[in-house]
Amino acid sequence: MKVALDVPHRLTARTVPVDEPRDLLSLLPRPDAVAWVRHGEGLVGWGEAARVTIPGGSDRFNWAAGWLRETFQATRVEDPLRIPGSGPVAFGSFTFDAKSGDSVLIIPRSIMGRRGGQSWLTTIGDGGDPLTLLRSPADPGQLRWSDGTLTAPEWERSVAAAVEQIRHGRLGKVVLARDLNAQAATPIDARVLLSRLAARYPESYTFDVAGLVGATPELLVRRTGGLIESLVLAGTTARGSDPADDEARAKALLASPKDLEEHGYATAMVREALTPLCAELAVPDSPELLTLANVMHLASPVRGRLDRERSVLDVVAALHPTPAVGGTPTTTAVELIRELEVMDRGRYAGPVGWIDARGDGEWGIALRCAELDGPQARLFAGCGIVADSDPAAELAEAQSKFRVMQYALEG
C-alpha cells in the first residue's frame, strides 16, 4: 500500500527533569488524554501536536512506522535525559483486524513521565500549563446496561459452532469475543475510569488512547535498546471465594489439559514470530501463574535480544495477532472470528501503547477495556476456544472478564 503521508510541520520537543509527581493520572487536565501507567510509572499526555488515522490493510504497521519516522525526523529535540519515554512520544492503538481503518497515532503536546526514580516533562510546541485542571473528573453516575451484538445464548451457540469446527480439524484454537453496552446520563470521563483501574489492578497496564480505556495484563512487547520482553497469557480461571478455593483453582489451572493446550499455541507462535528478529531468545518450557484481582492466568515471560536495529513497532507487527487474541492457524481463526462474532471488534484485542523517537516503547494487547463515545461505553471480553471448551464455562469466563470495566464504570 502506498499512501501519501500527512506529516505535520516541523515540531520542537523539549524535555526537562521535574520533581516526582504524586500521581501521574491526577495530572490529566481533560478527559481527552492519553495514558500508559503501571505501578505508578509510565507516561501520560494531553493536547495534540500531531495525530493520524492509519489506513487499513496488511501494510498498516509499515505505514505507521513511515509516518512516525518522518514526523520524528522533522522534530527538533532537546532531551538531556535520553531514556525510554523521554523526548517526543507517540501513543497508538491499532485495530484487531487489518481490514479496519480506525487505527490511530497521537503525539501529545504535553507528556509527563516517570521511570526508575526519574520524572520528566516533555512539551511540544506550546504545551501549556501541565498542572492546571480545566475540569474536575465526574463520576459516570447510574448506568443502563444492554446486550451487545449477541445475547448470551446466541454467543454460546457461536462457541459451540467454533468447537465443532475445531473438532473437525479446521483449526486448533479460536478466540471469540463478546461486547456489552453501558449508557450513562452524561459523557463518561475517562479519568475516573483510569484512576479506579490503576488502584484496583496495579499489576496491569492502565491505558487510554483515543477513547479506548482499559487495564490489560498482557504485555505484547517492551523494547529497551536492543532488548525486548513479552508476556504470553493464555488459560484463565476466576479467583476463588477464599484462600483455600484460590489455591485449588490455581492447581487446577496449572494442570488443566485444555488451558495448557491453549497456552501452548500462544507460546509456540510467539517463539516462531520472534526467532527471525532475535540473536537470542528465551522462552520458558512451562508456564507460571499470574494472579490478578479478578482472575488467574497461565503466563510465560519471554526475553530476547534483537539481531539488528529494529523499533518496537517492528516487533509489534511481527507478533500481532497472537493466538491469545486470534487463534491458530491465524488466517483461519480470523476468518472464523468474522463469521461467528458478527461484530467489528474495532481496536479491542489490537496493539496499544507508545513509541519514542529512538524506537523504544511498550505495547500491550487491548484487553479488559471499553471504547467510550460520549455517554456510551462498549465493553469487550474474549475467551480462547479449543476442542474441549464448554460454552457455558466460556460464557462465565467472559462475564468475569467484563467485571474489570464494570467496576471502573460503577465504582
Q: Is the peptide bond before 187 cis (omega within 30 degrees of 0)?
A: no
* String of DSSP letters for 156-178: HHHHHHHHHHHHTTS-SEEEEEE
105 vs 233: which has the higher pLDDT? 105
| Active-site residue, 258 included | no
For CA atoms 323, 327, 328, 329, the dihedral sign is: negative
Find the mean pLDDT for residues 246-266.
92
The tens digit of pLDDT for each residue in 128-180 reads 555 555 567 889 999 999 999 999 999 999 999 999 999 999 999 999 999 99
Any residues with CB less than 8 A from the CB of 214 and at least 6 apart, and which? 197, 206, 207, 366, 367, 368, 369, 370, 404, 405
Give the model's confidence band at 11: pLDDT under 50 very low, under 70 low, under 90 confident, else very high: confident
Rounded to whole angstroms, how far apart are CA atoms 176 and 271? 23
Any residues with CB less than 8 A from the CB of 6 and at least 6 apart, and which? 52, 67
* Cα→Cα distances 199→1, 37, 202, 318, Å: 42, 11, 6, 32
Give the model's confidence band at 32: pLDDT under 50 very low, under 70 low, under 90 confident, else very high: confident
pLDDT of residue 9: 65
Find the mean pLDDT for residues 194-206.
95
Using H for helix, E for strand and C for coil, what is the string for 282-304? ECCCCCEEEECCCEEEEEEEEEE
Task: Return the bridge partners of 50, or none.
Answer: 107
Residue 354 buriedness (CB in 10 A; 0-12 / 13-18 / 19+):
buried
| Residue of 2, 70, 164, 173 marked active site | 173
314, 249 Cβ separation under 8 angstroms = no
pLDDT of residue 3: 43
Location of C-alpha cell 500527512: 6
Q: Is the peptide bond before 329 cis (omega within 30 degrees of 0)?
A: yes
Residues present in the chain in total: 411
Domains in the chain (CATH in brackets) are 11-410 (3.60.120.10)
* Cα→Cα distances 338→50, 121, 326, 342, 399, Å: 33, 43, 11, 6, 21
pLDDT of residue 1: 38
Mark 107-119 as b/e (b = at least 16 C-beta within 10 Å): bbbbbbbbeeeeb
pLDDT of residue 8: 61
The tens digit of pLDDT for each residue in 97-122 reads 999 989 999 999 999 999 998 999 99
For residue 227, the tally of other CB atoms under 10 A from its CB is 14
Task: Give the residue from 141, 322, 128 showing the smallest Cα distance to 218.
Answer: 322
The tens digit of pLDDT for each residue in 42-91 reads 999 999 999 999 999 999 999 999 999 999 999 999 999 999 999 999 99
| Residue of 20, 218, 262, 362 marked active site | 218
pLDDT of residue 131: 52
Rounded to whole angstroms, how far apart are CA atoms 79 and 271? 35
Residue % of the chain over a pLDDT of 90: 84
| Active-site residue, 251 included | no
pTM metric for this prediction: 0.93
